[in-house]
Amino acid sequence: MTSINPNVRDVLNRGVLLDKLYRLKDCPVDLCKEYGKFASRYKSILNGKWSGGSKLTDAASEEFREILIFLYESLLKYKTFNNAFFTTSKSLDDFRAMMSLNQVCPYCDITKINKDIVSVDHLLPKGSFPVLSIFPDNLIVVCKACNEVIKGETIYLPIAHPYYEEVSRHFTFVIKENNNNKFTIEIATNSKNSKLINQKIYNFIKLFKIIDRYEKYMTAELQDYRTAVRKSAIAELNGVAQFRSITRNDIENCTRKYFQEAILDNTKLKRAVDGSKIKNDYINQIIKENAYQNDIEYIESHFFGFVTSKYE
């Protein structure tokens, strides 16, 4: 006879779980196979190639939905269940803390997350895909704004998965600055992208309202980032000025040097810096277009005062 861990028995004896399981006894579908079918075809759903159809009857489907959501929303929070299976009383909290340590939200890339302001999102919503409510790959640790305010139960398919596709590698932000120091932002997908990848990227950006949020919140961030580059160049030139006069050639070379060094290496940063994608695209755009004129003139004014520029 199989013995049951006393702590597990305590959970089962609460009655809620047993009651939900009992109601599935007449289910005409093998639920383990049903879960396996959805898990094995998860990428097909993300790619818009499979609708996630199920053989469950409407009644059984609702019962199955309830028990899976119960497992995620309730059972994982029971201290006795966690102690029995994970030797900790708070496995879900520990998972959130581990996944969010010094990280930026993988959806928006602008919000730093930590264990106190983190949310676990079901990329494919559990309301529409209850079978996947406890599927590990479908659980994404993100900021609360993306999950609870922006996304909710909405999904557009096909869609990019932040753990499967490195979303930032498939497109480039194009930043246009108007006369009022405001930015308009567009995206340009990579020429080597497949049609499917482009659809997944566009739907990802649409779902999380990336363009609108960036135009609203990142203008000041990008301006500050560019100012920091200028200040770094000025600091080095101030050091040089202790020994000799600064020339305009010094200013041009130093400006270009610090823009080159402003590119963030995300492989080393491990997503610890917010807005790294758009900051890199902004700096790369300046470098590619050789658009240093305002920066050089700003630094020149620091050393020579406001004089008629040679660029005019």
What's residue 222's pLDDT? Answer: 93
Is the pLDDT at 99 greater than 80, yes or no? no
| Tokens 């500050």 -> residue | 224
Is the predicted pLDDT of residue 1 greater than 60, yes or no? Answer: no
Element (H, E) at 65: helix 58-73
- Where does residue 123 rank: exposed (0-12), middle (13-18), buried (19+ CB within 10 A)? buried
The whole model's pTM is what?
A: 0.80
- Least confident window among 72-81, 154-163, 201-210, 296-305: 72-81
Beta-bridge partners for 262: none
Residues contacting 262, CB < 8 A, separation 6+:
225, 228, 229, 279, 283
- Summarised one tens digit per residue, pLDDT across range 105-152 is 999 998 888 766 778 899 999 888 888 887 889 989 899 999 999 999
Range of weakest confidence among 81-85, 100-104, 173-177, 257-261: 81-85
* Nearest of 123, 127, 124, 129 to residue 53 by alpha carbon: 129
DSSP 165: S
Mean pLDDT (the chain) is 82
Whether the per-residue pLDDT at 312 is higher than 50: the answer is: no
Read off the pLDDT of residues 192-231 as tens digits, 9 standing for 90 and up. Answer: 999 999 999 999 999 999 999 999 989 999 999 999 999 9
Q: Which residues contact 12 (CB under 8 A, 6 or more apart)?
A: 4, 18
Do 164 and 43 touch, CB atoms closer than 8 A?
yes
Please indicate whether residue 79 or residue 176 has the higher confidence score (pLDDT): 176
Tokens of 249: 């050639």
- The DSSP bridge partners found for residue 104 are 112
Phi, psi of 142 (to 5 degrees): -140, 180
Read off the pLDDT of each residue in 38-60 and give the average, rounded to a whole number: 84
Tell me the mean pLDDT in the region 94-109. Answer: 69
Section 247-260 average pLDDT: 95
Highest-confidence segment of 11-15, 72-76, 126-130: 126-130
pLDDT at position 311, please?
39
Q: Which two tokens stand for residue 204?
A: 């990802």
Residue 273: pLDDT band (50, 70, 90) is: confident
What's the mean pLDDT in 7-12?
54
- What is the arithmetic mean of pLDDT over 279-285? 95
**What pLDDT score was predicted for residue 215?**
93
The arithmetic mean of pLDDT across residues 31-41, rounded, is 86
Percentage of the chain with pLDDT > 90? Answer: 51
